[in-house]
């Protein structure tokens, strides 16, 4: 059985849905970061698959830049989380309501 582009796109959809479920149900910010990594990776699969089936390298290039952005987002985000944890002793989303009107 031939594996086509649609197989990869369906897989990417399933992984994206899993990541979105994680984003919506997690309260701990560290585990929320894990869910965002899943989202970025699922899109990378779609980019690589389209790049392969259309013989075009642009998809792979964009996947590289997505990886670079994910790495830098993680560095800054973890730094901020550590600062917040030192101040407040937890990283739950529900406690970050200091800007509520």
Q: Which of 34, 98, 100, 101 binds other proteins (CB under 8 A)?
A: 34
CB nearer to other proteins: give 34 or 96: 34
Q: In angstroms, rounded to a whole number, what is the distance separating the alpha carbons of residues 71 and 44?
A: 14
CB nearer to other proteins: give 65 or 96: 65
Tell me the two tokens of residue 23.
């984003």
Q: According to CB under 8 A, which residues from 78 to 97 bind other proteins?
A: 78-83, 85-87, 89-92
CA–CA–CA angle 30, 93, 69 (5° rounding): 45
Query: Shortest Cβ distance from residue 99 to other proteins (Å)?
Result: 19
Q: In angstroms, rounded to a whole number, what is the distance separating the alpha carbons of residues 40 and 73?
A: 11
Q: According to CB under 8 A, which residues from 47 to 66 bind other proteins?
A: 48-52, 54-58, 60-61, 63-65
Q: Which of 2, 98, 100, 101 binds other proteins (CB under 8 A)?
A: 2
The residues near 26 (Cβ < 8 Å, ≥ 6 apart) are 32, 34, 35
């Amino acid at each position: 059985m031939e594996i086509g582009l649609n197989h990869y796109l369906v897989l990417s959809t399933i992984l994206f849905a899993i990541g979105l479920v994680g984003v919506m149900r997690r309260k701990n910010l560290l585990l929320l970061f894990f869910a965002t990594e899943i989202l970025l990776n699922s899109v990378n699969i779609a980019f690589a698959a389209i790049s392969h089936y259309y013989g075009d390298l642009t998809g792979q290039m964009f996947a590289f830049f997505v990886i670079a952005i994910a790495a830098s987002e993680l560095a800054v985000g973890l730094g901020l989380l550590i600062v917040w944890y030192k101040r407040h002793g937890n990283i739950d989303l529900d406690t970050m309501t200091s800007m509520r009107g």
